[in-house]
Amino acid sequence: MTYAVNPAIHRIEAPPIMEAQTWVRPGLRNRTLLNLCQAVPSWPSAEELDDEVARVAKLPGTSLYTDIFGIPELRQAIAAHMSEDYRGSIAAEEVCVTSGCNQAFAASIMAIAKAGDNVILPVPYFFNHTMWLGMLNVEARHVPAIRGSDPWPAVEDAARLIDANTRAIVLCSPNNPTGSIYPPNVIDAFFDLAKSRGIALVIDETYKDFRADPAPPHGIFSKPSWQDAFIHLYSFSKVFSMTGYRAGSIIASTRILGEVEKILDCMAICAPHISQRAALFGLTSLDAWKREKIATMRARLEALRAGFSRPSLKYRMVSSGALFAYVEHPFDGETAKQVAMRLAGEHDVLCLPGSMFGAGQDRYLRIAFANAEAGDMETLVDRLVESQG
């Protein structure tokens, strides 16, 4: 008899990006594939970072565990960076280093929610968030992430869904998949709602460095009691082009981090020591490199927006920002997955269908343009027009 598997895991869909990559038919293309399915920068990490990793790899302590919360120097650097960027007050004791932002989300949710609880989540959502909630048997209660001309959720929609079993509101800004950058007053209002109802606001700000406005993304960290209702998640993966290093962070109250510590000790004990050293070097020594790459990505975004102004293009850009664009396709009677598979198989464009990001998203596609050059955007539009027949 075959042994059983966990039904909570079994019912979760397979990782979407791995599935999408099977839609490409090797050997049948006579032109370069535009791979727009995953937000991975097209450039390698900085040469200086590579040199630093080579240096610290030879130090005896680098092969050892760190504290569960991470090396003190990195925690202090994260606290200083976030305090400056948000014009707020964050202490090193309120920072925990994680193995990427996915682990940060997983540990944070596990620390505050149990099976039978619920979490409010805008749709479309980042699919790994709902995958993890499903594995924990935590209900995801959805509110629209796009309302008319506003590509962000409304506080009043979330307020109506809160009950005695609600443990958190989860936001992602700049948003994956829509690219929308939520206005500071909207994020602040969600914090006020969460605090007033005794739940947490959990916000994934992996892409906060790619915002166009240098002003703080929100004012939560400047509030004297932000620790009462706020959990902040971040990743070093994209801004320093070190996705494989797996380095991220949680900022939260020491009370919540005390629970997170137990979880991380069982998951991986600590983030890889060498990855933490890489993240520390990025934060303290690569500001100019970072700003140059952010400007390059912004130029790609502007090129994509310009391309979508072509009169013959029937695809419509709903929202864009950071590394993403959310696009409405023009094909009545076709699901988003059918459109995405046809784009991959016949038109050499690999992107993700909106249906991978939640119910009611079959009119949409997600374009992750980090892997494309600014000059590729006209080629993309050419192929989208070609797909229109």
What is the set of domains in the chain, with CATH numbers? 7-44+289-387 (3.90.1150.10), 47-285 (3.40.640.10)
Contacts of 38 (CB under 8 A, 6+ apart): 17, 368, 371
In b/e form, how buried is each residue of 106-119, taking b as 16+ CB within 10 angstroms? bbbbbbbbeeebbb
How high is the pLDDT of residue 389?
A: 87
What is the tens place of the pLDDT at every residue in 107-120? Answer: 999 999 999 999 99
Three-state DSSP class for 378? helix
What is the tens place of the pLDDT at every residue in 195-206? Answer: 999 999 999 999
**Continuous segment of H or E residues that includes residue 108:** helix 100-112
How high is the pLDDT of residue 273?
A: 97
Segments in the chain below pLDDT 50:
none
Q: Where are the alpha helices (DSSP H) in 232-320?
A: 254-267, 273-285, 287-307
In 3D, which of 265, 237, 255, 284 has the Cα closest to residue 74?
Answer: 284
Backbone angles phi, psi at 98, to 5 degrees: -130, 170
Which residue(s) pair with 368 in the sheet? 324
Contacts of 322 (CB under 8 A, 6+ apart): 174, 175, 176, 179, 181, 207, 210, 211, 297, 301
In 3D, which of 177, 197, 173 has the Cα closest to residue 185?
Answer: 173
Rg of the Cα atoms in the chain: 21
In 3D, which of 174, 165, 149, 161 has the Cα closest to residue 121?
Answer: 161
How high is the pLDDT of residue 212?
A: 86
Backbone angles phi, psi at 114, to 5 degrees: -125, 170
Q: What is the C-alpha to C-alpha distance for residues 159 and 154, in angstroms, rounded to an integer?
A: 9
* DSSP class per residue in 328-366: E---TT--HHHHHHHHHHHH-EE-EEGGGG-TT-TTEEE
Please state whether the predicted TM-score (pTM) of the whole model is above 0.75. yes
Token pair listed for 375: 């000059």
How high is the pLDDT of residue 173?
A: 96
How high is the pLDDT of residue 276?
A: 98
Q: What is the C-alpha to C-alpha distance for residues 25 and 254, in angstroms, rounded to an integer?
A: 50
